[in-house]
Amino acid sequence: MGKFSTLYDRSRAPLYVQVASVMRQRVNSRRWAEGERISTLEELEEEFGVARVTIRQAIELLRAEGLLQAQQGRGTFVSGRPANNRWFNLATDFDSLVESIRNNVLKRVFIQRDAEPPALLPTEGNPAKAYTFLRSVQFNGGKPFSVVNLHLDQRLFLRDSKRFTRSAALPKIVEMEDVVITHAYQRFTIGVADPETADLLEIGLGEPTADCQLTVVDDKDVAIYVADIHYLKNCFVLRSDLLKNSPPHQVAAAKARAASAAAVPEPGPLVAPDPADS
């Protein structure tokens, strides 16, 4: 089966799905340009080391996605590119995070008072006396893109349970004048969809997800907001300016030092004095 054989064995996904993933990436990266005819069935069969029926199944999958189109007697052509679904920019500061979720369209699917406390790292505050657990699904364009499992300090939840039930909780907490937030810890990992997440996001069981845990701690060192968020793998992107907080002169100075170092000639070999010059 060639170079792909060991790669196929590492995945439990059907062969045609794995082949389709490679083909999709070629369209997405423009290796296969829009309007271009792709390799023949025979060539793809040889390249991927799979049966022709598997190649046909992979092409059919991408045809259903609108990426490929078969033309009778001419071959298979690239008919489009994957939609740019990476519309959700992950926030890298607290204020941007609050604003990004303020108007989110969500649907609460489960609420439980006096829930089991969330698992906290030793550095992420102490648990509240009681938590209310809220699970919600967030939508964009009528499609689900994330599932949020939130443990909210029950003392805060009871102050405005109606609003916490129907809208994003964090903006409401920020508006509470007597709540002082001292830390907001955020962690990102790659996970997989469990049965409930897969059902709510309308994806396959075990498909990759982008997971975020956000823990908000108040001035009493209590974790008042602990959210586990599971995003669709293809809906988000993390964009940041790595020099945002660096003064321009520091960047310029670093370039000047590098240029100066490059301009210094390397020392030549040592030459012994000629005895005739003595």
Domain identity same for 195 and 102: yes
- Cα 143 from Cα 125, distance rounded (Å): 35
Supply the pLDDT for residue 104: 81
Q: What is the CATH classification number for the domain harbouring 123?
A: 3.40.1410.10
pLDDT band at 207 (very low <50, low <70, confident <90, very high): confident
* pLDDT beyond 80 at 5: no
User: Rounded distance, CA 160 to CA 176, Å?
Assistant: 11
Tell me, yes or no, whether 69 and 135 share the same domain.
no
Q: What are phi and psi of 141, to 5 degrees?
A: 60, 30
Which pLDDT belongs to residue 64? 83
Dihedral of alpha carbons 79, 80, 81, 85, sign: negative
Q: Is residue 244 part of a domain?
A: no
More confident residue, 155 or 73: 155
Instruction: Write out pLDDT tens, residues 110-133.
Output: 999 999 999 999 999 999 999 999
Angle at 58 between CA 68 and CA 44, to 5 degrees: 85
* Interval 263-278: pLDDT, tens: 656 565 555 556 555 5
**Residue-level pLDDT at 1:** 47
Residue 7: what pLDDT?
74
pLDDT at residue 214 in the model: 95
Is 249 a residue whose pLDDT tops 80? no
- Residue 233 shares a structural domain with residue 114: yes
H helix runs in 108-247, sequence order: 154-157, 161-166, 169-175, 195-201
269 secondary structure, DSSP code: P
State the Cα–Cα distance between residues 127 and 243, nearest whole angstrom. Answer: 36
- Are 117 and 228 in the same domain? yes
Residue 55 confidence (pLDDT) above 60:
yes
Mean pLDDT check: name the lowest of 88-97, 130-139, 157-166, 222-231.
88-97
User: Is the pLDDT reported for residue 102 higher than 70?
Assistant: yes
Q: Domain limits at 64?
A: 2-78
Which pLDDT band holds residue 181 (cuts at 50, 70, 90)?
very high
51 and 114 within one domain: no
pLDDT for 179: 96
User: With 70 as the cut, is the pLDDT of residue 198 above it?
Assistant: yes
Cβ-contact 240, 92 below 8 angstroms: yes
Q: How many domains does the chain have?
A: 2
Q: Answer yes or no: do 102 and 62 share one domain.
A: no
User: Coil, strand or helix: which one is 228?
Assistant: strand
**pLDDT confidence of residue 18:** 87
Could you tell me the two tokens for 262?
């490059």
Residue 235 predicted with pLDDT over 80: no
